[in-house]
Structure 1
Amino acid sequence: MSHVVDIQGLTRSFGGPNILDDVALDIAPGEFVALLGRSGSGKSTLLRIMAGLDQAPARKLVLPARRSVVFQESRLLPWKSVRENVTLGLKVTNAAAKASKVLQEVGLEHRTDAWPLTLSGGEAQRAALARALVREPELLLLDEPFASLDALTRLKMHTLVADLWRKHKPAVLLVTHDVWEAVALADRVLVLEHGRFSRQIAIDLPHPRHRADARAAKIEAELLEELGVGAEPSFQQEQV
């Protein structure tokens, strides 16, 4: 199978110990991969390299030309409307029509002409997601896009992202601190520790996934243990 992402021997340092140390990663077309790790483990560094925002030596670095990023902050330009933010830099003749379609998909058709500062946190992240998807990426990079949202809005965004992923079928790399978020959404979960992947778990469970499912709860517990968090995963995750 050809891969959308094929990285071999990727190393990155900032003058000290390697943040990424001989990393190898492949992602298949349409695969949803979640990346977990403690703060400072190199998760966002890897994502930034994959987004083309940073550079590092690698034996092999194959990435698709069409890739989009959604960050923890929406990064919307406050002096442009939601529609203008979504189409920013989009050089196609039917940009407005494409924006209208994707804004409807994320539930913002009624906020097309709104200014970003009038949006709620969830709405702003929906606009950022629309801006990423309107470019029809082969690879969608999500850098903790739900971390600043309240618990209920975060759960709604999980459902939205899962639905949009199934509809548009990009490969996805989600960087997150939320173990349940990774289990709920991903086909495969990787744990990054000291610049290398310490654990990889494939999740072959139907969507939607629930903590009441003993199989999902077992995977969550294994990942929490790998991260050094310990027992009682449901309670601990709900307190994040």
Structure 2
Amino acid sequence: MSAAGAEPVLQVAIDSKWYRPPRAEPVEAVRGLAFGVGAGEIVCLIGPSGAGKTTTLRILLGLDSDFEGRVSGADKAGIVFQEPRLLPWRSIEHNVRLGLPRARRDQNLDGLFAQLGLTAWRGSYPKALSLGMQRRVALARALAAGPRILVLDEPFVSLDDAAAAELRGLVVDTVDKAGMSVLMVTHNVAEAIGIADRLLLVSRRPASLIGDVPLDRPRRARDRAWAEATRATLAARHPDIIAV
């Protein structure tokens, strides 16, 4: 968790984002959404489907510049999408190295592959790996360049419970060791309560910030009873966002 008063690693302030499709009514996707992510902090962005979370990610990653507001710190981000987005004709090692600047593609990645349990798969191709292992490769690609903040878009969706738990633990251990920050978009409230230092609750469209909830209990001390009580409290305060 970041130190109090420390300058955020990532700052997002989206005053307004509109979509103006031809021959259709304009749609405001985001309005007044502002937040920061501190050094070493894991922050989860939670909201209903269609609320504008993906739009927000596209803006902070520089994929959509047609908005009013500002973003700073995103140039130091690594991104892991829902889909691993691996090149099937490239080996695992080549897929990871392609995420590096050309001048750094020969750097030693032995430690990274070992940390993520990928050493034995370096010469394999994506089709030989399960979805969970492919997501490890996508994580390795994002981490290889040493980002200050890791941006995760539903990284554990479609995995069985065991694979999701294993990958969550791997992500948390990796970023904690590196002192890295995380911004994760998820629909899974239980997942967010398990790993986040802070929850950002986003309203239905147009997306606005309606809750900034710190989770002060250490992750290792978050038992099932505490997690269920925390979820129940959030659901009572924000029933449109979090189901009981």
TM-score by length of 1: 0.89
- Partner secondary structure for residue 189 of structure 1: strand
Between the aligned partners of 1:111 and 1:53, the Cα distance in structure 2 is: 32
Between the aligned partners of 1:147 and 1:227, the Cα distance in structure 2 is: 23
CA deviation vs aligned residue, 1:31-51 (integer Å, no higher than 9, x gap): 111011100011111112111
The aligned counterpart of 1:10 is 15
- Picking from 202, 217, 220, the partner of 1:205 is 217
Structure 1 unpaired stretches of 5+: 232-240
Between the aligned partners of 2:93 and 2:239, the Cα distance in structure 1 is: 40
The aligned counterpart of 1:236 is none
Between the aligned partners of 2:17 and 2:55, the Cα distance in structure 1 is: 8
* Aligned ranges 1:43-54 → 2 under 5 Å: 43-54=53-64
Between the aligned partners of 1:98 and 1:92, the Cα distance in structure 2 is: 14
In the alignment, does 2:92 pair up with 1:82?
yes
Between the aligned partners of 1:17 and 1:94, the Cα distance in structure 2 is: 42
| Cα root mean square deviation, aligned | 1.8
- Partner secondary structure for residue 75 of structure 2: coil
The aligned counterpart of 1:136 is 146
- Partner secondary structure for residue 86 of structure 1: helix
Change (3 A) 1:227 1:134: farther
Change (3 A) 1:152 1:168: same
CA deviation vs aligned residue, 1:148-174 (integer Å, no higher than 9, x gap): 211110011111111011012222110
In the alignment, does 2:222 pair up with 1:222?
no
Change (3 A) 1:108 1:89: closer
The amino acid across from 1:168 in the alignment is A
Between the aligned partners of 2:115 and 2:169, the Cα distance in structure 1 is: 12
1:197 deviation in Å? 1.1
* Aligned ranges 1:68-217 → 2 under 5 Å: 68-91=78-101, 95-194=105-204, 195-208=207-220, 210-214=222-226, 216-217=227-228
Between the aligned partners of 2:14 and 2:224, the Cα distance in structure 1 is: 39
Between the aligned partners of 1:89 and 1:189, the Cα distance in structure 2 is: 29
CA deviation vs aligned residue, 1:109-130 (integer Å, no higher than 9, x gap): 1101110011011100000000
- Partner secondary structure for residue 65 of structure 1: helix
* Percent of residue pairs identical: 33
TM-score by length of 2: 0.87
Q: Is the 8 A contact 1:11 1:56 kept in 2?
A: no
CA deviation vs aligned residue, 1:128-154 (integer Å, no higher than 9, x gap): 000000111112110001102111100
Between the aligned partners of 1:139 and 1:54, the Cα distance in structure 2 is: 19
Between the aligned partners of 2:66 and 2:197, the Cα distance in structure 1 is: 27
1:102 deviation in Å? 1.1
Between the aligned partners of 1:89 and 1:9, the Cα distance in structure 2 is: 28
Change (3 A) 1:206 1:163: same
The amino acid across from 1:203 in the alignment is L
- Partner secondary structure for residue 35 of structure 2: strand
Change (3 A) 1:71 1:230: closer
Between the aligned partners of 1:218 and 1:51, the Cα distance in structure 2 is: 34
1:89 deviation in Å? 4.5
Q: Is the 8 A contact 1:179 1:223 kept in 2?
A: no
Between the aligned partners of 1:53 and 1:164, the Cα distance in structure 2 is: 27
Q: Is the 8 A contact 2:18 2:67 kept in 1?
A: no
- Partner secondary structure for residue 16 of structure 2: strand
